[in-house]
Amino acid sequence: MTGILQNFDIYSFQEKLIEWYQSNKRDLPWRQDQDPYKVWVSEIMLQQTRVDTVIPYFQRFISKYPTLYDLAYAEEQDVLKSWEGLGYYSRVRNLQTAVREVEAAYGGEVPDDPKQLGKLKGIGPYTKGAILSIAFNQPEPAVDGNVMRVLSRVLKIEDDIAQSKVKKQFEGYASELISHDDPSSFNQGIMELGALICTPKEPMCMFCPVQKHCRAFQEGMEQELPIKSKAKKQKKIPYTVLLIHNERGEYLIEKRPENGLLANLWQFPMVPIAEIGKDHMVNWFEMEYGIDVELSDKKGDLKHVFSHIIWQLEIVAATTPSKETEDKRVRFVSRDELEEYPFPVSHQKMMRYIT
Ligand code: SF4
Protein backbone atom coordinates (compact mmCIF):
# COMPACT_ATOMS: atom_id res chain seq x y z
CA MET A 1 0.00 0.00 0.00
CA THR A 2 1.35 3.47 -0.87
CA GLY A 3 2.28 5.80 1.99
CA ILE A 4 -0.62 8.14 1.39
CA LEU A 5 -3.17 5.39 2.03
CA GLN A 6 -1.61 4.19 5.25
CA ASN A 7 -4.01 4.77 8.14
CA PHE A 8 -6.84 5.35 5.68
CA ASP A 9 -9.88 3.19 6.36
CA ILE A 10 -10.46 2.03 2.79
CA TYR A 11 -13.23 -0.43 3.59
CA SER A 12 -15.34 2.08 5.50
CA PHE A 13 -14.75 4.71 2.77
CA GLN A 14 -16.00 2.29 0.11
CA GLU A 15 -19.01 1.34 2.18
CA LYS A 16 -20.08 4.93 2.91
CA LEU A 17 -19.60 6.00 -0.69
CA ILE A 18 -21.47 3.08 -2.23
CA GLU A 19 -24.32 3.30 0.26
CA TRP A 20 -24.73 7.01 -0.46
CA TYR A 21 -24.57 6.41 -4.22
CA GLN A 22 -27.22 3.70 -4.11
CA SER A 23 -29.73 5.97 -2.41
CA ASN A 24 -28.83 9.29 -4.04
CA LYS A 25 -27.91 8.54 -7.63
CA ARG A 26 -29.66 10.57 -10.27
CA ASP A 27 -31.96 8.79 -12.63
CA LEU A 28 -29.97 9.31 -15.84
CA PRO A 29 -30.91 7.66 -19.13
CA TRP A 30 -27.58 5.82 -19.49
CA ARG A 31 -28.07 4.26 -16.07
CA GLN A 32 -31.10 2.25 -17.18
CA ASP A 33 -29.03 -0.74 -18.18
CA GLN A 34 -25.39 -1.76 -18.37
CA ASP A 35 -25.22 -2.22 -22.14
CA PRO A 36 -21.49 -1.57 -22.85
CA TYR A 37 -22.31 0.25 -26.10
CA LYS A 38 -24.62 2.72 -24.31
CA VAL A 39 -22.18 3.19 -21.44
CA TRP A 40 -19.51 3.90 -24.04
CA VAL A 41 -21.63 6.45 -25.93
CA SER A 42 -22.59 8.22 -22.69
CA GLU A 43 -18.99 8.41 -21.48
CA ILE A 44 -17.82 9.88 -24.78
CA MET A 45 -20.63 12.45 -24.74
CA LEU A 46 -19.92 13.39 -21.14
CA GLN A 47 -16.31 14.31 -21.86
CA GLN A 48 -16.09 18.10 -21.50
CA THR A 49 -19.89 18.38 -21.59
CA ARG A 50 -22.43 18.90 -18.82
CA VAL A 51 -24.90 16.17 -17.89
CA ASP A 52 -27.95 18.39 -18.57
CA THR A 53 -26.69 19.09 -22.08
CA VAL A 54 -25.90 15.45 -22.76
CA ILE A 55 -29.29 13.96 -21.74
CA PRO A 56 -31.34 14.98 -24.82
CA TYR A 57 -28.43 14.24 -27.18
CA PHE A 58 -27.96 10.80 -25.67
CA GLN A 59 -31.66 10.00 -25.96
CA ARG A 60 -31.83 11.11 -29.60
CA PHE A 61 -28.58 9.37 -30.47
CA ILE A 62 -29.58 6.06 -28.92
CA SER A 63 -33.01 6.10 -30.52
CA LYS A 64 -31.37 6.75 -33.89
CA TYR A 65 -28.51 4.27 -33.36
CA PRO A 66 -29.86 1.78 -30.80
CA THR A 67 -27.13 -0.78 -31.33
CA LEU A 68 -23.46 -0.78 -32.13
CA TYR A 69 -24.28 -2.08 -35.61
CA ASP A 70 -26.58 0.86 -36.35
CA LEU A 71 -23.74 3.25 -35.60
CA ALA A 72 -21.13 1.19 -37.41
CA TYR A 73 -23.14 1.21 -40.66
CA ALA A 74 -24.39 4.83 -40.45
CA GLU A 75 -23.22 7.58 -42.81
CA GLU A 76 -20.61 9.78 -41.19
CA GLN A 77 -22.45 12.97 -42.20
CA ASP A 78 -25.65 11.74 -40.48
CA VAL A 79 -23.71 10.86 -37.36
CA LEU A 80 -22.08 14.30 -37.32
CA LYS A 81 -25.51 15.86 -37.72
CA SER A 82 -26.71 13.97 -34.61
CA TRP A 83 -23.74 15.40 -32.74
CA GLU A 84 -24.27 18.95 -34.03
CA GLY A 85 -23.98 21.44 -31.17
CA LEU A 86 -22.19 19.09 -28.75
CA GLY A 87 -18.73 20.20 -29.90
CA TYR A 88 -15.45 18.28 -29.89
CA TYR A 89 -16.51 16.44 -33.02
CA SER A 90 -13.43 14.24 -33.13
CA ARG A 91 -15.11 12.38 -30.26
CA VAL A 92 -17.89 11.08 -32.47
CA ARG A 93 -15.66 10.39 -35.47
CA ASN A 94 -13.36 8.33 -33.24
CA LEU A 95 -16.36 6.61 -31.69
CA GLN A 96 -17.65 5.55 -35.07
CA THR A 97 -14.20 4.36 -36.18
CA ALA A 98 -13.86 2.33 -32.96
CA VAL A 99 -17.37 0.88 -33.22
CA ARG A 100 -16.57 -0.24 -36.78
CA GLU A 101 -13.45 -1.93 -35.48
CA VAL A 102 -15.44 -3.71 -32.76
CA GLU A 103 -17.87 -4.87 -35.41
CA ALA A 104 -15.06 -6.15 -37.66
CA ALA A 105 -12.63 -7.57 -35.11
CA TYR A 106 -14.81 -8.66 -32.16
CA GLY A 107 -18.07 -9.69 -33.81
CA GLY A 108 -19.82 -6.58 -32.53
CA GLU A 109 -19.18 -7.36 -28.84
CA VAL A 110 -17.44 -4.55 -26.95
CA PRO A 111 -14.28 -6.23 -25.59
CA ASP A 112 -14.01 -6.61 -21.82
CA ASP A 113 -10.26 -7.05 -22.03
CA PRO A 114 -8.48 -3.86 -20.86
CA LYS A 115 -5.77 -4.13 -23.52
CA GLN A 116 -8.17 -4.63 -26.42
CA LEU A 117 -10.53 -1.94 -25.19
CA GLY A 118 -7.72 0.55 -24.55
CA LYS A 119 -6.48 0.19 -28.14
CA LEU A 120 -9.74 1.38 -29.68
CA LYS A 121 -9.73 4.88 -31.09
CA GLY A 122 -10.82 7.57 -28.65
CA ILE A 123 -10.71 5.31 -25.60
CA GLY A 124 -8.22 6.72 -23.12
CA PRO A 125 -7.53 5.44 -19.60
CA TYR A 126 -10.59 7.19 -18.11
CA THR A 127 -13.11 5.92 -20.65
CA LYS A 128 -11.61 2.45 -20.52
CA GLY A 129 -11.95 2.34 -16.73
CA ALA A 130 -15.49 3.72 -16.88
CA ILE A 131 -16.65 1.10 -19.42
CA LEU A 132 -14.91 -1.80 -17.65
CA SER A 133 -16.25 -0.88 -14.24
CA ILE A 134 -19.77 0.24 -15.17
CA ALA A 135 -20.59 -2.27 -17.90
CA PHE A 136 -18.42 -5.24 -16.86
CA ASN A 137 -18.05 -4.65 -13.12
CA GLN A 138 -14.27 -4.87 -13.23
CA PRO A 139 -12.24 -3.07 -10.53
CA GLU A 140 -10.53 -0.63 -12.92
CA PRO A 141 -9.96 3.01 -11.93
CA ALA A 142 -11.68 5.75 -13.91
CA VAL A 143 -9.96 9.02 -13.10
CA ASP A 144 -10.99 12.31 -14.69
CA GLY A 145 -10.81 15.89 -13.39
CA ASN A 146 -13.90 15.36 -11.27
CA VAL A 147 -12.48 12.28 -9.55
CA MET A 148 -9.09 13.94 -9.05
CA ARG A 149 -10.80 16.84 -7.30
CA VAL A 150 -12.58 14.52 -4.86
CA LEU A 151 -9.52 12.37 -4.19
CA SER A 152 -7.18 15.33 -3.82
CA ARG A 153 -9.46 16.58 -1.05
CA VAL A 154 -10.15 13.25 0.63
CA LEU A 155 -6.45 12.32 0.67
CA LYS A 156 -5.17 15.93 0.95
CA ILE A 157 -2.90 15.75 -2.07
CA GLU A 158 -1.27 19.05 -2.93
CA ASP A 159 0.34 18.08 -6.25
CA ASP A 160 -0.62 19.89 -9.45
CA ILE A 161 -3.40 17.84 -11.07
CA ALA A 162 -2.67 19.44 -14.46
CA GLN A 163 0.50 17.32 -14.71
CA SER A 164 0.19 13.95 -16.39
CA LYS A 165 2.49 12.22 -13.93
CA VAL A 166 0.20 13.36 -11.12
CA LYS A 167 -2.79 11.93 -12.96
CA LYS A 168 -0.98 8.59 -13.06
CA GLN A 169 -0.49 8.77 -9.31
CA PHE A 170 -4.20 9.34 -8.84
CA GLU A 171 -4.92 6.29 -10.98
CA GLY A 172 -2.71 4.34 -8.60
CA TYR A 173 -4.63 5.59 -5.53
CA ALA A 174 -7.96 4.91 -7.21
CA SER A 175 -6.85 1.33 -7.99
CA GLU A 176 -6.14 0.76 -4.35
CA LEU A 177 -9.32 2.41 -3.14
CA ILE A 178 -11.79 0.80 -5.53
CA SER A 179 -14.25 -1.75 -4.18
CA HIS A 180 -13.83 -5.22 -5.63
CA ASP A 181 -17.38 -6.14 -4.60
CA ASP A 182 -19.05 -3.32 -6.49
CA PRO A 183 -16.59 -1.39 -8.67
CA SER A 184 -19.41 0.03 -10.78
CA SER A 185 -21.10 1.77 -7.85
CA PHE A 186 -17.75 2.81 -6.41
CA ASN A 187 -16.59 4.62 -9.56
CA GLN A 188 -19.98 6.09 -10.27
CA GLY A 189 -20.23 7.07 -6.60
CA ILE A 190 -17.05 9.17 -6.74
CA MET A 191 -18.19 10.79 -9.98
CA GLU A 192 -21.62 11.51 -8.49
CA LEU A 193 -20.10 12.88 -5.31
CA GLY A 194 -17.94 15.23 -7.39
CA ALA A 195 -20.96 16.35 -9.41
CA LEU A 196 -23.42 16.86 -6.54
CA ILE A 197 -21.54 17.44 -3.26
CA CYS A 198 -17.80 17.84 -3.69
CA THR A 199 -18.22 20.52 -6.33
CA PRO A 200 -15.35 22.74 -7.56
CA LYS A 201 -16.46 25.82 -5.62
CA GLU A 202 -17.94 25.62 -2.15
CA PRO A 203 -18.25 21.87 -1.65
CA MET A 204 -21.18 20.90 0.57
CA CYS A 205 -19.14 19.10 3.20
CA MET A 206 -22.04 19.12 5.69
CA PHE A 207 -23.92 16.65 3.46
CA CYS A 208 -20.93 14.58 2.47
CA PRO A 209 -21.09 10.84 3.16
CA VAL A 210 -17.30 10.56 3.40
CA GLN A 211 -16.70 13.66 5.49
CA LYS A 212 -15.22 11.58 8.34
CA HIS A 213 -12.59 10.26 5.94
CA CYS A 214 -11.77 13.59 4.34
CA ARG A 215 -8.38 14.98 5.31
CA ALA A 216 -8.92 18.32 3.56
CA PHE A 217 -12.15 18.86 5.51
CA GLN A 218 -10.45 17.99 8.78
CA GLU A 219 -7.84 20.66 8.12
CA GLY A 220 -10.23 23.22 6.62
CA MET A 221 -8.48 23.00 3.24
CA GLU A 222 -11.34 21.85 1.03
CA GLN A 223 -11.53 25.19 -0.80
CA GLU A 224 -7.81 25.21 -1.52
CA LEU A 225 -7.69 21.84 -3.24
CA PRO A 226 -7.11 20.64 -5.85
CA ILE A 227 -4.04 22.56 -6.98
CA LYS A 228 -4.23 23.11 -10.70
CA SER A 229 -1.87 25.26 -12.76
CA LYS A 230 -3.53 27.41 -15.38
CA ALA A 231 -3.59 26.25 -18.97
CA LYS A 232 -1.80 28.41 -21.56
CA LYS A 233 -3.88 31.29 -22.90
CA GLN A 234 -5.59 30.49 -26.18
CA LYS A 235 -4.34 32.21 -29.33
CA LYS A 236 -6.87 34.55 -30.95
CA ILE A 237 -7.40 34.13 -34.69
CA PRO A 238 -9.54 36.64 -36.59
CA TYR A 239 -11.62 35.54 -39.60
CA THR A 240 -14.11 37.26 -41.84
CA VAL A 241 -16.97 34.88 -42.55
CA LEU A 242 -18.82 35.50 -45.79
CA LEU A 243 -22.53 34.81 -46.04
CA ILE A 244 -22.64 34.72 -49.82
CA HIS A 245 -25.90 34.28 -51.65
CA ASN A 246 -26.79 34.24 -55.31
CA GLU A 247 -29.92 35.48 -57.06
CA ARG A 248 -31.69 32.17 -56.46
CA GLY A 249 -31.36 32.83 -52.74
CA GLU A 250 -28.88 29.98 -52.34
CA TYR A 251 -25.93 30.21 -49.95
CA LEU A 252 -22.37 29.12 -50.49
CA ILE A 253 -21.12 26.57 -47.97
CA GLU A 254 -17.95 24.51 -47.82
CA LYS A 255 -16.86 21.30 -46.19
CA ARG A 256 -13.96 21.55 -43.77
CA PRO A 257 -10.90 19.35 -44.36
CA GLU A 258 -10.99 15.67 -43.45
CA ASN A 259 -8.57 16.08 -40.59
CA GLY A 260 -8.06 18.54 -37.80
CA LEU A 261 -10.41 20.92 -36.07
CA LEU A 262 -14.13 20.33 -36.83
CA ALA A 263 -13.15 17.91 -39.59
CA ASN A 264 -15.79 17.23 -42.26
CA LEU A 265 -18.31 19.67 -40.82
CA TRP A 266 -19.78 22.37 -43.06
CA GLN A 267 -19.36 26.12 -42.74
CA PHE A 268 -19.74 29.43 -44.49
CA PRO A 269 -16.43 30.39 -46.12
CA MET A 270 -13.93 31.84 -43.65
CA VAL A 271 -11.24 34.25 -44.76
CA PRO A 272 -8.12 34.30 -42.53
CA ILE A 273 -8.15 38.03 -42.52
CA ALA A 274 -4.92 38.64 -40.56
CA GLU A 275 -2.96 36.87 -43.32
CA ILE A 276 -4.91 38.15 -46.31
CA GLY A 277 -5.69 41.73 -45.26
CA LYS A 278 -9.06 43.42 -45.75
CA ASP A 279 -8.09 45.13 -48.99
CA HIS A 280 -7.20 41.87 -50.69
CA MET A 281 -10.06 39.81 -49.35
CA VAL A 282 -12.23 39.83 -52.48
CA ASN A 283 -9.35 39.06 -54.82
CA TRP A 284 -8.09 36.31 -52.58
CA PHE A 285 -11.56 34.79 -52.41
CA GLU A 286 -12.00 34.84 -56.17
CA MET A 287 -8.62 33.17 -56.66
CA GLU A 288 -9.19 30.58 -53.95
CA TYR A 289 -12.79 29.63 -54.74
CA GLY A 290 -13.13 30.66 -58.39
CA ILE A 291 -16.27 32.64 -57.50
CA ASP A 292 -16.81 36.38 -57.94
CA VAL A 293 -18.25 38.15 -54.92
CA GLU A 294 -19.42 41.60 -54.01
CA LEU A 295 -19.43 42.53 -50.34
CA SER A 296 -22.50 44.15 -48.84
CA ASP A 297 -23.12 44.92 -45.17
CA LYS A 298 -21.56 43.69 -41.95
CA LYS A 299 -23.96 41.52 -39.98
CA GLY A 300 -22.23 41.15 -36.64
CA ASP A 301 -19.38 39.67 -34.65
CA LEU A 302 -19.05 36.32 -32.90
CA LYS A 303 -16.44 34.75 -30.71
CA HIS A 304 -15.96 31.02 -30.38
CA VAL A 305 -13.65 29.59 -27.75
CA PHE A 306 -11.93 26.24 -28.29
CA SER A 307 -9.56 24.67 -25.79
CA HIS A 308 -6.46 25.96 -27.63
CA ILE A 309 -7.61 28.84 -29.85
CA ILE A 310 -10.29 31.52 -30.05
CA TRP A 311 -12.01 32.39 -33.30
CA GLN A 312 -12.91 36.06 -33.63
CA LEU A 313 -15.47 36.11 -36.38
CA GLU A 314 -16.66 39.15 -38.29
CA ILE A 315 -19.72 38.21 -40.33
CA VAL A 316 -20.24 39.97 -43.63
CA ALA A 317 -22.98 39.48 -46.22
CA ALA A 318 -22.03 39.20 -49.87
CA THR A 319 -23.58 38.41 -53.24
CA THR A 320 -22.37 36.50 -56.26
CA PRO A 321 -23.57 36.06 -59.84
CA SER A 322 -22.49 32.38 -59.71
CA LYS A 323 -25.00 29.57 -59.43
CA GLU A 324 -22.72 26.61 -59.31
CA THR A 325 -19.15 25.66 -58.69
CA GLU A 326 -16.81 22.91 -59.83
CA ASP A 327 -15.06 22.66 -56.51
CA LYS A 328 -16.44 19.50 -54.83
CA ARG A 329 -16.00 20.79 -51.32
CA VAL A 330 -18.07 23.88 -51.99
CA ARG A 331 -21.75 24.09 -52.95
CA PHE A 332 -24.74 26.36 -53.19
CA VAL A 333 -27.71 25.29 -51.10
CA SER A 334 -31.11 26.77 -50.33
CA ARG A 335 -32.07 28.07 -46.91
CA ASP A 336 -34.05 24.88 -46.21
CA GLU A 337 -31.26 22.59 -47.35
CA LEU A 338 -28.86 24.26 -44.91
CA GLU A 339 -30.71 22.41 -42.13
CA GLU A 340 -29.56 19.07 -43.49
CA TYR A 341 -25.84 19.73 -43.12
CA PRO A 342 -23.84 19.37 -39.91
CA PHE A 343 -22.48 22.80 -38.90
CA PRO A 344 -20.33 23.75 -35.90
CA VAL A 345 -22.12 25.83 -33.27
CA SER A 346 -20.51 29.13 -34.30
CA HIS A 347 -21.84 28.75 -37.86
CA GLN A 348 -25.24 27.58 -36.69
CA LYS A 349 -25.48 30.87 -34.82
CA MET A 350 -24.92 32.75 -38.09
CA MET A 351 -28.11 31.30 -39.54
CA ARG A 352 -29.97 34.09 -37.79
CA TYR A 353 -28.48 36.55 -40.27
CA ILE A 354 -29.99 34.61 -43.13
CA THR A 355 -33.55 35.28 -44.18
S1 SF4 B 1 -15.90 16.51 3.07
FE2 SF4 B 1 -16.10 18.18 1.64
S3 SF4 B 1 -14.13 18.31 0.60
FE4 SF4 B 1 -14.22 16.33 1.63
S5 SF4 B 1 -14.96 14.93 0.06
FE6 SF4 B 1 -16.72 15.63 1.23
S7 SF4 B 1 -17.49 17.42 0.11
FE8 SF4 B 1 -15.42 16.98 -0.64
Q: Are 170 and 161 in contact (CB under 8 A)?
A: yes
- Give the E-state strand segments of the chain in sequence order: 235-245, 251-255, 266-267, 270-271, 294-305, 309-319, 330-333
Helix-, strand-, coil-residue percentages of the chain, each rounded to 5 = 50, 15, 40
Q: Structure pTM? A: 0.84
Which residue minimizes the CA distance to atom 3 of ligand 1? 222
Catalytic, 43? Answer yes
- State whether 194 and 67 are in the same domain: yes
CA of 181 to the centre of ligand 1 (A): 24
CA of 196 to the centre of ligand 1 (A): 11
Give the amino acid at 7: N
How many domains, in total, are found in the chain? 2
The residue out of 218, 252, 273 marking a domain boundary is: 218
- State whether 14 and 124 are in the same domain: yes
Q: Are 210 and 17 in contact (CB under 8 A)?
A: yes
Give the helix/strand (H/E) hosting 190.
helix 183-196
The residue out of 164, 193, 218 marking a domain boundary is: 218
d(CA 159, CA 152): 8
What CATH number does residue 212 fall under? 1.10.340.30
Question: Has residue 57 been placed in a domain?
Answer: yes
d(CA 80, CA 72): 13
Torsion sign across C-alpha atoms 317, 261, 126, 194: negative
Supply the range of the domain harboring residue 126: 3-218
Omega before 183 cis (within 30°)?
no
The one catalytic residue in 43, 84, 140, 192 is 43
Question: Has residue 171 been placed in a domain?
Answer: yes
- State whether 280 and 174 are in the same domain: no
- State whether 204 and 151 are in the same domain: yes
**Ligand 1 near 17 CB (within 6 A):** no
CA of 21 to the centre of ligand 1 (A): 15
**Ligand 1 near 197 CB (within 6 A):** yes
With 0-12 / 13-18 / 19 or more C-beta atoms within 10 angstroms meaning exposed / middle / buried, residue 14 is buried
**Ligand 1 near 239 CB (within 6 A):** no
**For the chain, how far is it from start to end, CA to CA, in angstroms?**
66
- What is the residue-level pLDDT of the chain in tens, covering all 355 positions? 558 999 999 999 999 999 999 999 999 999 999 999 999 999 999 998 999 999 999 999 999 999 999 999 999 999 999 999 998 898 999 999 999 999 999 999 999 999 999 999 999 999 999 999 999 999 999 999 999 999 999 999 999 999 999 999 999 999 999 999 999 999 999 999 999 999 999 999 999 999 999 999 999 999 999 999 987 889 999 999 999 999 999 999 999 999 899 999 999 999 999 988 889 999 999 988 989 999 999 999 999 999 899 999 999 999 999 898 888 889 999 999 999 999 999 999 999 999 7
